[in-house]
Amino acid sequence: MIGKYERLSISDGDLDGRDENNSIEHQRSLIDEFLASKAEFRGIEAEEYVDDGYSGKNFDRPGFRKMMESVKSGRIDTIIVKDFTRFGRENTEVGKYLEQIFPVLGIRFIAINNNYDSSAYYSESAQGMDETVSSLVSTFHRRDVGKRLHTANEEKWKQGYSTSGSAPFGYLQDPERKGRYVLDPPAAEIVRKIFDLALEGCTTSQIAHRLNEEKVPIASEYNRIYGIQGKERQYSLTPDKIWNAGKVWKILTTYEYTGAIVLGKSRVIVPGRTVIRKNAPRDQYVTENAHEAIVTHEEFERAQGVIQYRTKGEYLGKKDFPLRSKIRCGHCHRVMAHDLGAAEPVVWCRDGREMPQYSNCPSGQYSIRLIEKQVFQALREWLELLVCLKEMVGAEPSGGSEQLKDSLSPELMQLLTLAPDLLREKALTKEAVKLTIDRVYVHGENMKRLKGNVEVRFRFEKEIATRFQ
């Protein structure tokens, strides 16, 4: 018999209210789809063991205890989990089960998203087993190191010393006092100019126009030209190096220009992952008079008063739509802004619309309805391909089909399973977009002649191209 084990704990950061990937329902669905995709498991009975609301930091969980009783009684000989973290979060104990307890009891252990199957490693090579367990231990070790590093960093932040390797635009790392800043005069002059224009009453867009007109380099381009390791160092994100309202707004809202150092602006929700949240001002570490100021506190506050604030809801629209955050400008590749409150909901490129004389991005607006129509057609063709691939993978068991099936990632196998249901949808849905589409590029100027100007990039394109040449 197979034991399906699922676990969820809010205290461990498994679910932050938005990410459903660790929900019990998702784990159950992933395991069931995995079992259905493997011929060797067909017809074998499976029993589910669930710990909903129990931390993975210890193994004192009712579902886990019940599963281990079934193991000891010989009722189950295989345990399947979504990934190692669902089984447990303490590396020492997890390693003990994988290396000592389960091998002695003859238990096969499978962690789907980690591509780990103990039977493969036991039968093929002990070295493979060692490498996998070592990788698991390393993962937990990195998380432990991350916690300790954050604690050490906090102590430095409290004393007003940065632990970053870069300084805000306008400053450089102080070579004599590690963790402090010194002025970078040419860049500081640009910052000062932006504040002066704001104090004269110019809006962020007007300031951006002025800077572009005078050919003032943006922060990332300035850092590239002078070889500075600054925070703004992503030089190749957009082909047009121009100022816009957003870049000006960022300068005007950077409190460090008053001479203060601000640290701990964001936090990692779960050590070892990339889930990051912004800290509230009360949770940040602020040290006044840490370096030479570019503007006074009074000037900084006055500049805030002339900024034209727009809330995210007012600027982008309060409603949602399936392709939200997926539609990008075909020239600069940035996510397009959208307005769902207009008679004809539209998207547009910010640079192309705000700075048409300086940007090569299209300045027009595009109909969301027409984009969705083309994307839906492209999606149907993609899903038809996936259905064909599913039939190939699910063909009569043979050496070739089994080898092909085993070479596919669990995520792609899950999508192949869902493809027939998604193909039956009559309109574009957020679920289908999330599962299948990476991004959508829009090219050209005319919103009413979009045919041929919408480019859809699907998930798993490279994997499919590699496996099904």
Residues whose CB falls within 8 Å of the CB of residue 224, separated by 6 or more in sequence, listed in order: 233, 235
Q: How far, in Å, CA of 193 to CA of 199, rounded?
A: 10
pTM for this predicted structure: 0.60
Tokens of residue 182, six digits: 């010194």
Dihedral, CA of residue 44, residue 49, residue 55 and residue 60, to nearest 10: -110
CATH of domain 2-149: 3.40.50.1390
pLDDT at 395: 53
Tokens of residue 457, six digits: 């990039």
pLDDT at 393: 73
pLDDT at 96: 83
Do residues 145 and 206 make contact, with C-beta atoms less than 8 angstroms apart?
no
Do residues 227 and 217 make contact, with C-beta atoms less than 8 angstroms apart?
no
Tokens of residue 51, six digits: 């710990």
Tokens of residue 160, six digits: 């007003």
pLDDT at 341: 83
Q: How far, in Å, CA of 340 to CA of 426, rounded?
A: 22
Eight-class DSSP state of 267? E
pLDDT at 146: 62
Residues whose CB falls within 8 Å of the CB of residue 265, separated by 6 or more in sequence, listed in order: 278, 279, 284
CB atoms within 10 A of CB 448: 10
Strand-pair category, 437-442 with 365-367: unpaired
Do residues 224 and 235 make contact, with C-beta atoms less than 8 angstroms apart?
yes
Residues whose CB falls within 8 Å of the CB of residue 433, separated by 6 or more in sequence, listed in order: 322, 323, 326
Tokens of residue 372, six digits: 């969705």
How far, CA to CA in Å, does 211 sit from each of 174, 195, 249, 432? 28, 12, 13, 43
Q: Which fold has domain 159-309?
A: Hect, E3 ligase catalytic domain fold (3.90.1750)
pLDDT at 298: 95
pLDDT in tens, the chain (469 residues): 999 999 987 554 444 443 455 688 889 999 999 999 888 898 899 999 999 888 888 888 999 999 999 998 889 999 999 988 899 887 778 888 888 888 888 899 999 988 888 887 554 444 445 555 555 555 555 556 666 777 788 888 888 899 887 899 999 999 999 999 999 999 999 999 999 999 999 999 999 999 999 999 999 899 888 888 766 554 445 677 899 988 999 999 999 999 999 998 887 655 545 557 788 888 899 999 999 999 999 999 999 887 755 434 434 444 678 998 999 999 888 899 999 887 889 999 988 888 888 888 888 889 999 999 999 999 999 999 888 888 877 654 454 556 666 667 778 888 888 889 899 988 899 889 989 999 999 987 655 555 558 999 999 888 787 765 5
pLDDT at 183: 96
Domain coordinates of the chain in residue numbers?
Answer: 2-149, 159-309, 327-467
